[in-house]
């Protein structure tokens, strides 16, 4: 069969522990960031605020991540469904606070370790390779409250203990690892990635880049350690990627778009892939009064701990204009930017741009010449269950088809693309909006924003479609 996708292409789906597992206080797990994030509108408001107190207040809010979709108890059923679709790989994260409930203990929690043993064994039973994110917006709450999150250098050594523990424990079960989810999103949303809520807008950038520097060191240490403990491991970085288009051919806008892309898209990649801060960082830091505390040995660690491959999430492109009015801004577009008149948007205002994925793949491969993996992409949409129980999600199929077509184009362009795990292969709790109703899955989960629902799983139309995509290695779209 003629297919553009290489043999052994890693087709699959992606999730994160906090959006999936539930059982937030079982198995000795400690609380983490996601456990204190309210559901619905309140979460969206929180993300743009300063000074969040990280307390749970059940009299005011709901906390959907506490139960999520109960993968903790239902993983066997879910993995069987992934296997039915023919998944080659399943991306999941380990919740740090299941392994070290507070984050700063000396000894790990055996019950937490045993849980992931069971999950990895179940995946291997079905011939599915686990792809594990080590940190996916799940900083242990104790590290947030006591230490101020990743602003604090101490987290580098706590993280080292955590990664050493999981590499040693799962060395025969996990080959593919990602260090920090969407590491470059840290400066936009420090709450998620860095586990702190800025005190003020003035301190946001300085604290975010300091936290990011700590993560660069922690990530490089993890890569070095992983290669020592698991010689055959493949360890990647994970970026949130949005190609930046200049709004028009005005050179002022073109230059501005280039600078935005440099800082948002490439700074983190350059550090993690090339092993050094890029040339343009110096001026940016100076002009924004960012003074990094870089300790002896940090730059050497970063140089030595470069990644084996690059993974990224792709949801949208970003259209940039140097001077913009509030009316021009895109709605809900997490990466910022002005509205692009050529693109339609999802119900949450995320602009849909399949060609932007080909642009991204070419930009990343052109710059780094390292294997690429798309580890998130998908359409968050409202689904309707018909009277006969079916879910006809043609809109999702269209979205995915158009993006996979562009992946095929990029492969023909010469890009070394090794895998694709679409986001939220089973419905789960949305990270930014804390909703169940923003669904991404091939598998429907009967759970609703008001907390009702049986948690029953159902195959959507896209389930059968994706199964065919995988079995034809991307030929039947």
Which residues are tagged catalytic? 182, 376
322-339 exposure pattern, b = at least 16 Cβ within 10 A, e = fewer: eebeeeeebebbbbbbbb
**N- to C-terminal Cα separation, the chain:** 14
Which residue number, 244 or 428, has a Cβ lying nearer to ligand BG6? 428
Cα 243 from Cα 365, distance rounded (Å): 13
Q: How far apart are CA 161 and CA 165, in angstroms?
A: 6
Residues forming a β-bridge with 234: 176
Q: What is the Cβ-side half-sphere exposure of residue 279, based on CA atoms within 13 angstroms?
A: 0
Of the candidates 212, 357, 404, 431, which one interacts with ligand BG6 according to CB under 6 A? 431
Beta bridge partners of 176: 131, 234
311 binds ligand BG6 (CB under 6 A): no
Distance CA 432, CA 250 (A): 34
User: Phi-psi category of 67—alpha, beta or left, where left has phi over 0 and alpha has psi -120 to 50?
Assistant: alpha
By CB under 6 A, residue 370 contacts ligand BG6: no
Asked if residue 16 binds ligand BG6 (CB under 6 A), the reply is yes
We find the least distance from the C-beta atom of residue 430 to ligand BG6, in angstroms, to be 3
| Selected range binding ligand BG6 among 46-54, 70-78, 197-205, 429-437, rule: CB under 6 A | 429-437
Would you count residue 441 as binding ligand BG6 (CB under 6 A)?
Answer: no
404, 343 Cβ separation under 8 angstroms: no
> Count of H helices and E strands in the chain?
16, 14
Closer residue to ligand BG6 (CB): 188 or 459: 188
At closest approach, how far in Å is the CB of 133 from ligand BG6? Answer: 9
Q: Which of 196, 423, 442, 444 binds ligand BG6 (CB under 6 A)?
A: 423
Query: Quick one: which of 449, 321, 461, 309 has its CA closest to 390?
Result: 461
> With binding defined as CB under 6 A, does residue 404 bind ligand BG6?
no
In angstroms, the CA 156 to CA 372 distance is: 27
Shortest reach from residue 69's CB to ligand BG6, in Å: 13
Which of residues 186 and 246 has its CB atom nearest to ligand BG6 in the complex?
Answer: 186
Applying CB under 6 A, the span of 269-277, 279-287, 392-400, 431-439 interacting with ligand BG6 comes to: 431-439
Which residues lie below 8 Å from residue 94, measured CB to CB, with a gap of 6+? 17, 116, 132, 133, 134, 166
CB of 431 to ligand BG6, least distance (A): 4
The alpha carbon of 359 is separated from its chain's Cα centroid by a whole number of angstroms, namely: 20
Q: Which residues contact 432 (CB under 8 A, 6 or more apart)?
A: 43, 44, 47, 334
Residue 438 is a binding residue for ligand BG6 (CB under 6 A): yes
Q: Is 432 in the site for ligand BG6 (CB under 6 A)?
A: yes
Query: 97, 215, 313, 462: which one contacts ligand BG6 (CB under 6 A)?
Result: 313
The answer to the question of residue 430 lying near ligand BG6 (CB under 6 A) is yes
- Nearer to ligand BG6 (CB atom), residue 182 or residue 449: 182
Tokens of 181: 């989810």
The total of other beta-carbon atoms located within 10 Å of residue 296's CB is 6
Closest separation in Å from C-beta 382 to ligand BG6: 12
* Among the listed residues 101, 380, 419, 441, the single contact to ligand BG6 using CB under 6 A: 380
Q: Establish if 376 lies at the interface with ligand BG6 (CB under 6 A).
A: yes
Nearer to ligand BG6, 39 or 130 (CB): 39
**Which residues contact ligand BG6 (rule: CB under 6 A)?**
16, 19, 181-182, 240, 313, 376, 380, 423, 430-433, 438
């Amino acid at each position: 069969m003629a297919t553009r996708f290489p043999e052994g292409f890693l087709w699959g789906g992606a999730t994160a522990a906090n959006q999936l597992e539930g059982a937030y206080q079982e198995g000795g797990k400690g609380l983490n960031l996601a456990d204190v994030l309210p559901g619905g509108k309140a979460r969206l408001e929180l993300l743009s605020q300063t000074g969040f107190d990280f307390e749970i207040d059940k009299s005011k809010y709901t906390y959907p991540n506490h139960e999520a979709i109960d993968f903790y108890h239902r993983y066997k059923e879910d993995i069987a469904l992934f296997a039915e679709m023919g998944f080659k790989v399943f991306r999941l994260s380990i919740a740090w606070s299941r392994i070290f409930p507070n984050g700063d203990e000396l000894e790990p929690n055996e019950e937490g370790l045993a849980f992931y043993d069971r999950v990895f064994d179940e995946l291997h039973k079905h011939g599915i390779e686990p792809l594990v994110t080590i940190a996916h917006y799940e900083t242990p709450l104790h590290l947030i409250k006591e230490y101020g999150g990743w602003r604090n250098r101490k987290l580098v050594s706590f993280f080292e203990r955590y990664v050493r523990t999981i590499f040693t424990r799962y060395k025969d079960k996990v080959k593919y690892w990602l260090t920090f989810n969407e590491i470059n999103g840290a400066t936009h949303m420090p709450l998620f990635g860095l586990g702190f809520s800025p005190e003020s807008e003035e301190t946001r950038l300085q604290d975010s880049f300091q936290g990011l520097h700590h993560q660069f060191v922690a990530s490089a240490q993890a890569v070095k350690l992983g290669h020592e403990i698991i010689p055959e491991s493949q360890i990647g970085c994970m970026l949130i990627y949005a190609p930046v288009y200049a709004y028009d051919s005005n050179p002022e806008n073109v230059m501005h778009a280039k600078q935005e892309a440099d800082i948002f898209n490439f700074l983190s990649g350059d550090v993690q892939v090339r092993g050094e801060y890029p040339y343009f960082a110096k001026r940016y830091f100076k002009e924004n009064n960012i003074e990094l505390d870089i300790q002896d040995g940090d730059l050497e660690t970063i140089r030595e701990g470069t990644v084996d491959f690059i993974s990224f999430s792709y949801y949208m492109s970003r259209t940039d204009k140097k001077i913009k009015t509030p009316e021009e801004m895109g709605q809900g577009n997490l990466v910022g930017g002005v509205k692009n008149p050529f693109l339609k948007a999802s119900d949450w205002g995320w602009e849909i741009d399949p060609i932007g994925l080909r642009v991204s793949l070419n930009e990343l491969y052109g710059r780094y010449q390292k294997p690429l993996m798309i580890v998130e992409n998908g359409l968050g949409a409202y689904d309707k269950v018909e009277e006969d129980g079916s879910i006809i999600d043609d809109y999702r199929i269209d979205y995915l088809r158009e993006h996979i077509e562009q992946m095929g184009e990029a492969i023909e362009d010469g890009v070394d693309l090794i895998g694709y795990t679409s986001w939220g292969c089973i419905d789960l709790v949305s990270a930014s909006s804390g909703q169940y109703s923003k669904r991404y899955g091939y598998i429907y989960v009967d759970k609703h924003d008001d907390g009702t629902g049986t948690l029953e799983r159902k195959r959507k139309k896209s389930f059968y479609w994706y199964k065919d995509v995988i079995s034809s290695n991307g030929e039947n779209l």
